[in-house]
Structure formats: structure tokens, C-alpha cells
Chain A
Amino acid sequence: MTLAQDPRAALDALADSVVPYLLGVRHHSPALAAAVPALLDAAGAEVVCVELPADFQPWLTHLGAPGTLAPVALAGAVEGGRLGFYPFADFSPELAAVRWARERGVEVVCCDLPMADARWHTEGDVRAEAVGPPASASFAQALTAAGTGRAGDDLWDRSVEVLAPGCTPESLRRAALSVGWALRQDSESSGGVPAVDLAREAHMRETIALAAAGGRRVAAVVGAFHAPALAEGAALREREPERADGAGVRGTPATGSGLPAEPSLVVTSLVPYAFDLLDSRSGYPAGIRDPRWQQAVFSAAGDPDLLYDAAARAITGVCRELRAAGHTAGTGEARETLRVAGDLARLRGLPAPGRGEMLEALTSVMGQGEPLGRGRALARALEVVLVGTERGRVAPGTPRSGLGPSVEAELAALRLPGPDDPARRELRLDPLRSVLDNRREILLRRLDVCGVGYGEPVEVAGTGDAAALTTRWRAAWVPSVPVRLDLAGVRGVTAALAAEGTLRETFRRESAEGAPTCALVLTGLRDAARCDLPDLVAQRLAEAAEVLPASATLPEILTGLDLLEALRRGHLPGTTPGTRRAAGVLAADLLESAVGSLPGLAGSDDPEEVAALVALAARAGEHRLGLRMDEALSGLAHTGSPLVQGAALACRVLLDLDGADTLGARAAGWIDAATGPDARHALARRLAGLLTGAAPLLQSASTALDPLLDRVDSLADQAFLERLPALRGGFDTLSPAGRDRLLHTVTERLGDRLDLALAASPELLALWAAADEAGRTAVEALWPTPRTADLPAPTTAGVRPVPAPDPSGAAEPADAVPRIPPTDRWRLLLGSQSDKLPAGARRYAHALDELYGTGRGEGSSDPGRDGGRGGGQDASFPTAREWAEELQALFGAEVREEVLARAADQGRGDVLAELDPAAVRPSVDLLTSVLSLAGGMPEQQLARLRPLVRRLVDELAKELATRVRPALTGLATPRPTRRPGGRIDLPRTLRANLAHARRGADGSTLVVPERPVFSTRSRKEADWRLILVVDVSGSMEASVVWSALTAAVLGGVPTLSTHFLAFSTDVIDLTDRVDDPLSLLLEVRVGGGTHIAAGLAHARSLVTVPSRTLVVVVSDFEEGYPLGGLLGEVRTLAGSGVHLMGCAALDDTGTPRYSVPVARQLVAAGMPVAALSPLALARWVGERLRGESR
């Protein structure tokens, strides 16, 4: 086709072609499928050639058999990987042709290239070409422009399907041929027809020529795209492609031998199929949108009235589904939808509404402009009504084929338990070393994914921190396996296909509630990679790139980074160079979005999260340091929780954003400020955070260490001892080896101790010792000071002899001179080398060791270490009482309480008995510790604990109430105003306008109201309802306590009825306990997953008057379920007019710990998210009640 043809002439030539009679189709086309029998009758075809690889010839009789119920699919797999997949429904023109041929007794010939032919190459989906519009399509563009101009319009649909009703079959055929011709022209003018298509068409021409031998009338039912190449004389115009020898010989199905030439290479099968798999959105190849609707179009067979009926039925069905889902969708809307669909069709000059018009009308009338919430319900309804789940069936007597035989063959090849050897075996596989093991592993994974119940993975522990690279399986061919294989067979005919199909299906179903969750995408990615499905891996990676940066929480991001690293290194089978590269790129992206979610960490008090923060900062810094990271870290360093502040500060120094001296100065400042219990607690947390990030920094950067040294050195004994537990707690983060190193640095810098590691000869040492001894004797002779017996080898420290600290702990406060030497102070606060401490100081070390031990991590299991638990030779305290007494004696009551609370926090329940309920200082920290312990206690112990909890709760609630109540008082009353709005205030109006009264002609008095007065709207104070929905999953303890206290306080407000819902994955309604925060708190058990949507759903059931209902969600918003459900709930609530508030944290400081991306989407959905203090919350409630702002 060198010259540009007149489209009309070209089309005439195509349509008039006799050898063969051309029927250009799309593989799913209800309009054409209905017209095929009439067209073939009219052509009087004696042979029908269909576009199927020759390998499928034997299946044609079964395909057309009366017992075969569509949808079914033909599948062929060539050894080496190429797959052909051909689903058929009633509305497939090919199936219509095959059925017609069977009824008329006409021969059918598969005319496409045999699957094993080399010319197939390995590329692409064989069916895409007739449907996909080419890149720069002039003809196609012209045809499309004649349509609606709607984006994403389907050319075939617009040019053939929607115009079909009421047309003759012949004009339909011409329309189809014209689309194919246009697409082909465009494809030729932009880069040419792919070689594989040319080769296939050459083969088709040969087959048709053979079939036409003897003057038989041949009808070719082929893709419309191929039709121009098959027309009479097309071969002459087409440049004949180089053709492989013997191809023609193999393509001789016209003889009806029924068997492909090389059956050993190709495995073919005919399997049942299902509508939901046929829908192109299911991810299966060669699908079509909305099969059930297509089926209805097929049944209407081109009658516009029947099509109207079908549309009406579908629309009614959607309304019913919507109503079933709890949305309003009445007959009125259904009528309006049908009208809009019909009028749109009329406006566009169509005989009947097509799928496009119907969907447009449905979205317009029913969707209400909400992509979430109602829009989702609509999408679900559409899926039920238009997609359907009908399954096909192959006729009885069809040979067994598909998944079962394929898997059995594979098992035999891999020497795994199979039908002949069903016994259970345990396998240990090393897939990265052995090729056979790798194949076994992949097959086992695939079967596992298909739910066949064949192999069962056994947990393998890795060595050290590394992940295990070998796997163990227990596999057996139990009788249920073949049955389940048959079930899974619908999804594919080989283990690979079935696994891919199952994964896609599961993924689609689970993400049907909305966009897929991050967890789902990550699981999907891992499974796809394990099952060696590179296409799916690529697709999931693309999805991960969509989903993860937008909504992943920090832990998910870290999991994701690990997985991506494994993919990038090729540890998992299903990767290609492309996906490995993509994984690397995505990892970088993920790192960037992790930076964006950093502000959500501000309130974290979890050392692991802080460690993650430091790791993240380090990685981001390696990658490249952005403006954003700088901003985020400085924000955290200023406003975060103490732990996060320390870590952020450390990160800033590590990334060279701040100088080390800033760090040292701030740390020194913390020590100065640690005068009260709260500040001391903050000191401990800040130091812990700091040391998580910057422990090595202290050893290397003198500017960072100097201020600290200076401060520890210059504190008075009393002040130092007060801060000692906090400091010790902060330095507890360091591993024992780290502490040794730090201590070494410190002692080196202080230079106050004889370095015993000095390489001096024993003789020299003996001399030095003798000299020292002599010196000491001389000094003692001069100043006979009483001194303790066992000070460690005194050098310069000996100049300032240390008396044992006074056991009462009240060492001379006025004494500004430090009495404990700096090195010993460091030993104390690092908790190491306690055997080198003087006896008095050792008591302190011992008392604190009871709580902190010697630390975890590097060096802790070193048996030769000094200063093990209990400080060397000292035994640990036999009872908590003794320990408490010792603490009291050493540090005083206040510090003792802090240490005991800290011990309770670490899980030592026995210390709680030592706390005096009457004297204890009420704090939420203590209360959380007590409550977290209460969960695991027997009732008897709990009974002893109750007074303590009661006092804590009472005190805190009282304190809160005094602050909160004022925020709730004061109600607005209607006020007079000049602004027209509310009701007119007649008395006032009269009074204001008396000056304008005049007497009328008839003597009546007329008041001209020049200045009308109105009254503002006043809201009646009525029964408001506050529903606190509180997340009790894991990390929310402090907020839970505050929520309960707030609920108790607000529960006392007369106009407010307060509800308290605690949720993790379940929802517990604790409303009846709101009055008594004690029992409320003892009832709540923290832990479990997060399902906010469930909590909100229950809250919604409590709503009676939406405009007078406040719903407050206290959560970290790390939803463990599909986000779509949560967003839908929020939209529904917001849509009904409920006042919503999301609290990322509810505590005194209002420092949040939450998932930033999720919160952002919630805000967009209509729920403001903020970190509030109870006071701010009460203020908000008060504002709502007074109706100050809406």
C-alpha cells in the first residue's frame, strides 16, 4: 500500500473480497457476534478460518459442542515460556462462527501461526493489536473525533458497537472492516506493522489459500486489523516477508488431520472461565470491560428497544445494590439515570445508549461527585451488576487438560512428591546455590499461593541478624491436592499462570474496598517475586511507586526498603534487570517520602522508632541531603518529645547541619535544667535519644564532650546524685562496649588516672609503686586525714580524698566543691567498672544496677567483663522492699519514687507495692506504667494496686477538671442586630422607628421602619453527644489515659452525653464506665491492630442527630486495613453533618505521633487532624456547643 488510498475505495475492496470473505472482528464484540451467523449464511461459507494458532485445531469440536457453556478459554503454552490465551464468551465472534459451523456441518480451520513457530518471537500479547490505538493515529483520530471526544474513548466501541443497533449485518461488517483498515493505515504510517503480525498474516494467507483449494468458499473470521492483509490481491501489494522454511508445511490444517505437527512442544488446554476474570480490570489478558453488560447487548441482538430494556434493567440493578449498601437510590434517580443515558445517546446520534452513555449517566446522577464513599459504593454496585461472576463449563467428555496435568508433569520433573510417590517429605532447599532447588522453591511457592495445600513452609531461623537464605518445606501429594488444583485451574493452565492469576485476583478483591493498602502491595510484591512472575513484579513495583510514597507509615517504609533491597540484589527469583533498577529508584523515592513523614514522629517515645529515625537520616544523608530534611530535623529538635529531640539533634550534628559544640552546649543545658522530676525524666529521654544517634560522636568530637564533662565535673555532689538516676537512665542506651569506650575517652581526657595499659616493665612499675607509697606516707604524716580503706589506686584523685557519701543522701548541700571525683562520676553514670569505685560510691552503683543492669548489645555477653549485674561481687537485692529502702537512703524520697516508677515501666510489678498511694506524685507517666502492668496481674495484687491507681486517677482528673470546665461554660444568646438575617425583632423595630411615625390621611398612624432590627440566630442548648473513639492499639497508652480522664471530666457536663469507644481490631463500647475513669482504665487493654474504620462505623451507629454530635478520634492513624474504608467512613460522617475531630495525640504537651500521609488524606476527607491537649479539646467542644463556628 504505497499510495494513499481513498478510504471508500479501499473499504469497498475489502468488503467485496470473495476469497476469502472477510469478517474483521474484535475478539469480544457483542454486536458482531450476534450478526456473525447471518453474515456467514449470506456468504454461504464452506470453510471458516478463525484466527487461532493451528495447535488449537483439535479443541474446536469441544469448543463448539452444545454442552460447552461460555465463558471458556483456550490456552497454549510452548516450552520456553510463550503463552497464548484465548478466552471466549457468547459475545465472541469467533465462538459464534465456530458454533455456526458446527450447526451447518462446515469445516473450521485455525489459520494463525502455530505456537511453536519461531516467528512469534517472544514479545507482547498476541491480542492487543486490534484494540490498542496507535501512537499518532491520524485516521483513528479522525474517527475518534467524530465520537464524543471523551478522554479514553474506545475507537471500536464508538465506531462499531454503539452504532450497531438497528443496522444491517452487512453495514456492521463494513464498519468493523473500516476500523481495522484505519488502524492498519495509522500503524503503517507510524513505524510500520510489527514483523510478527506480517509473519502471521503470511501464514493466514497460505492457510486460506489451501482451504480455498477446489474453489470452496472461505470465510475468514480474523482481527479487523489483519483483514486488509488477507483481502484478494493483498499478497501482491504486501511485500512478502522472509518466511521460515517449512512453515507452510506445518500449517496444513486444511487436511483436517486435527493434530499440530509438533505436539510435544505445545501444551494446549480448554478450561472453564468466569466473567469476573474476563473483565479487563481483573488484570487477565484479552479481556473486555463489563462482560455481563456485553452479554446483555449480545442477547439484545441489535434491537434498540431491547437495548433500552437492558439498560433499564442494569440501572435498576445498580440502584438495588446501592440501596443494599445503605445508600439512597430510589426509583426517581433510576428514572433520571435512564433519561440522561437516553438523551445523551440521542444527542450523539446513537440508536440506543451504549455502555459509555450508561456509565456517564450513572456517575452523574448516582455518584454525587464523591470518588470515595458513595463513589466506591457505586463502583461495587457496578461490578456486581455489570461484571458478574458467571462461570463457564466444558462439555462432558472433553479431555482433561489444564493445571492438573501440567503440575503433575512439573512435579515429576523436579522429583517432588506426586501422584506416583505421594508420601510426605521434608525438603531443605538452597535456591540461591542450586538451580534444581530454585525451580523447586518456585513451584512450591506457586502452589502455595494457589492454595493447593501441597507444600507447607517451615520456619527457618537466620544466623545472627541476617535473614535466612535457605528454606524448608514439608510436601505431600494428599488426595485433596488434585481437587484443589481443578478449582485453581480456572485461573490458569500452568502453575505459573495459576499463581499469577490467584495473586492478581486476591489483590484485586482485597483492594476492592479502595486503593490497595501499603501492606497489601508489599505482600503482593514479595509473593510475586517469590513465585518468579517478572511481569507481576513489574506491575506491583509500579503500584508500590504509586501507593507507598503517598501513604506508607515509617515501619512500612522500612519494610519496603528491605524488600526493595532484596529485589535490587536479586535475592528473590522474579526480577529482571529492569525491575532491579526500578527497585533501586523506588527505594530512593521512598527515602524521600520518609523524610516527609518525619514530623509524624514528633511525639514518639519508642527507642526503636528513634533508632529508625537515625538510620533514616543517615541513609537520606548518604543519598543526598535536602532542604526538607534540614527543616524536618530542626522542627523535631525543637518541638519533639524529649527522646526525639535528642535524636534529632544528634542527626543534625551527624549530617553536619549543626556544629558539635551546639550539641554539647544543649546537652549541658539539659543537665542544668534537670531540677524537678519532670525535667529529670526529660533529661533521661533526651540523653537516650541523643546517644541512639551520636554515641560515637561523643568519643570523637571533643567540642561535643567538653561541655558535658565540664558540667558533670562542676556539679555539687548533691546535685549530681539527684541527677544520677536520670543520667544513668539516659546512658543506658549505650551498649556495654560502647560505655567502656566512652569511659576510656573520658578518663583519657580527664587525665586523672594511671593508665595501666602503659607498656612499662614490671620493674619500672614496682619502682613507681614504691615511690607512690613513700609519697603517701609522707603526705599522711603531714595531714593525718581519716580516709576510707579501699580507695582505688589513688593518683591525682588522691589529692582530694573522698569521704563515703553520707548514707542519708543529704551530703552537705552547701559544699560547692565536687567531692566525688569526675572519673568516678562517669563510672557511676555509665554503670561500668563499678569495682573500681570507692565503697561508698559503689552503693549507688549497686542500687542503680538493680534497675539498669549493664546494658544490652555489643559486649553484654562478654563473660570476662568486669562489673556484671549487681556490681561485681555484690549480690542483687533480695526484695523490692530492701531495694526501695536503699534507694530512699541513698537518694531521698523524690528520686526513689522516680526510680521505682521507671522500674515499673520496665515491667517490675513488685515495686509498685512500695509506692505509697498517699504520698506519690500523680503523673500520667506513672499511671501508664501502672496500668500497663495491671494487665498481667492477678486480682489479688490488683486489689492492692487499686488505691494507688484511684489516687492517681482522682488527682489527675481533678486537676484536669479545674482547667477544662471553664472552657465549656458560657452560652450564646440571641442578640439584636441590624444585619438582616434572623427573625425580625418587632418590638425593637417599633421602638427604633417611632421617630418616623406619621399620621396618614385617614387618621391612622403609620410607622415607617427605616431601621429594622433583627435578632441573630440562637442555638438552643440541647442534648449534645460526644463520642470519643479511642485507639488502644499498642503505641497509644498516654493518649488512652488522657482520653479516659477527659471523657470522665466531660461526662460531668450536664448538656453532654459522653460515649467512650475503645478500638483496636475490635470495638468495645465502654460508655457505661465513663463516670468512673478508674474502672474505665482498668477495663481497657492496650494492644492489637488498628481498625479505625470499625471504630467509626460503631460511632456512626450512635449518631442520632448528626448536627449535634461530636466525634473525636484519638489515634495514631496507622490504619491496618484498606484506607478506602476509613476514608469512606469519614466522608459519610462528615457528609451527614457530624462534627469530626481527629486527635493525633491527646496529652498535656500535644506532641503528636502519627502517620502523616494518612492524616493528610483524612483532612481532605473532612476530618481535621490535630494534636491537642485535653484543654484544647474541651475548648473545641465548647465552641461547637456554643455554635461559634461551623
Chain B
Amino acid sequence: MTINGNRITFKMTPFRLILIGFSLIFVGIVAYRLVNGLQMTNLTDAWPWGLWIFIDVKLGVALAAGGFTTAGIYYVLGVKKVKPVVKPAILTAWLGYCLVGFGLLMDLGRWYGWWHPIFSWGEHSVMFELYMCVLLYTIVLTCEFAPVLFKGIGLIKVSSFFTSLTAPLVIGGIALSTMHQSSLGSMYVLTLGKLNELWWTMLLPVLYYSSAVAVGPAMVTCETALAGRFFRHDWDAPAMTFLAKWSGYVMSFYALLRFSDLAVRGQLGALFALDTESLMCLLELAIGCVLPLFFFWSYKLLGREMTKAMIVRNAVLMVLGVALNRGNVVFTGMAKAAGTSYFPSAGELFLSIGLLSVGILVYLFIVENFDVFPAHDRYVNTKKEPVQPQGAGCARA
């Protein structure tokens, strides 16, 4: 069987071997989890949500926001220069949501009933809306990436069919993403009185959505930087610079909204109280907002061009910031209400690591065999000579 006319390859490296190792452990843990239930976790009545909800539902969905943002920037706003990163972004988003789905399935106590919300609607539930939108959006992402897959296995007509659906898929995808990215925040509005005041606000949906829109491109930047390392992919400066600016502006909006919200709700005192919650919040804001925005605006005001290093650094900071923010809402902000402590069990950790490993392996396989990155940069250390890059990247404007 060939893909895109070439033999299927999967270059074995030490890194990939480690990932395969984690994936095998993962399979075992999944089997154990399905048989023995949730007692393999450290979840308790005081901590019904733990590592899996944090990584899968909160963090995973936020970091997979690169898909709808990049697609939106390219297709809806018509910014041609980001074209080279659209396909990889869709792939990451699609795999990301598949991982989210599976991870969530592992977390659900009665996972075999996962399809119930399709037939029995909890109309007043934010979680219901999240479920429907994530389900539909995963289908959308599958359809958005389908052209690459079908073309690879030679079903050109099918591939073209999906390609023809791009516009409605992208628009639908943005709309669905808006819904569920904000719902991840709205879901915590119900915890008024339990969630610490530094994080609880009626603006949670707007804050979650805007941080997702900011971090999506930042995540794409990080992935591009990493992929560039492995696949000798060129750094497409115009695309990356645009994404960096996008993130900068959107994160500025987030920061403004966040600090105003804290001020209006009288939480600035609590923010600087220097207890655990305050320190964690300051850390999150410093890393995710203050530092990257400082760099962004100082460069801008000084009229300096953003270098690759600066763009990547800002992106990493924003990703860390969003991770801290989601973690603070799930853990730090709820700790006092829980009354006890929680730390994930080994099983929880290895399931998450394994899930991620499987995802990375699939990503590597697809990138290596399918038409995701520009053609001549697909191989690393193969018989073929690496073709010299032409100028500033292969993207055609």
C-alpha cells in the first residue's frame, strides 16, 4: 500500500521508541481502567475532577484552538501568508480533539453511556452544550482533514468532495469553537461560592474564549518550531510574525478584561494577599500576560521587528500561562472548597502521558507520509538528498 505514491515509512528513533513504550503502557492502563473502574485514580468525593479533566477537557481543548483560529484567519479573513501553517494546525487540532475525546471517555465513570446526551438533553447544562459542540466540531475537524487523508490513499474524488465543503466547515468550526471554548469557562460559573474569587466571574466564558483565540496561534507557533527542528522545516517568517501579532493583540484584550474584572469585583487586594491562591494567580498572569505583552508592546513601541526567538518565547509563555490558568481554575481555585489535597496517581499520570504519546506517534506518522508540510521538507536523514530551501520558505502567497 502506498501513500501519495510513496512507500509507507516510519523512521524509528530513540524518541519514537520511548513514545511506543509509553503507548504500550497506555494500552495496559486503559484495559485496567475499563475493568476496574476509577479506583486506579486518586479522585475522591472531595476531588471529583483531577488530572484527566485538567489535561483532556481544559488544557487539550484550549491548546487545540490553533485549528479554528488558523483556519479562520486564512479562509474567513483571507490572510494568505498563514497558508503554510493551516494544514499542520488542522492536523494538530484534529488529533488533539481525538485525544480529548478518548481521554474524556476514560474519565467518564459510565463511559459506555457516552452517547446518552445525544438522545437525552440537559438543556440547562453548560456541559451539554460543551458535549454537543465538541462532538460536532470533532466531526468538522475530521471532515476538514479528510482531504489530506483521502488524497494520500488515492481517493481523489472523495478528497475533492471534502475540499468543496471547506467554507461551511471552517465557518461552522469557528462558531462551534466559540461555543465550546467559552463553555469551558461558563461551566465554572455554577461553582460560585466554591471557586476562589480570583477566578470566578460572570466573564469566564469571554475570558476562556479570548485566551483560546490568543493561545491557538501561539500553540501553532510552538508546534512549528518543534516540527522545524525534526523535519528541517523552514521558519516561515511572514506567517509566524502575523500569528505572533495576532496573539499579542488578542492577549492584550484578555489582559485588559481580566484586570478590569478583578478591579471591578474588588479582588485586587486578594490578588496581592500573597497567600497560595494569590501567588498562583500572580504567577499565571505574569507568565501568560505580563511578560509576553511586555515583550510584544516594547518591541512594537520601539519599532523593532520580532525575531524568531522572541516569537517562540512569547508563544511558549502564553501556552504556559493558559496551562496555569486552566490548572488554577481546576485545582488551586477549588482547593479550599475541597478541604483535602489531591495528587494524581501513577495510573492517571501514565494514562495521560501514554495518550499524548499515541497522539504524537500518529502525528509523526501522518506528517511523515501524508501531504501536511510542503513536500520537499518531509524527510529527515533518508536516502534522498534534502533539497535546498528556496528563499524564505515554500509558502506561496
Q: Do A and B make up one complex?
A: no
Mark A residues whose CB is within 8 Å of B: none
Mark B residues whose CB is within 8 Å of A: none
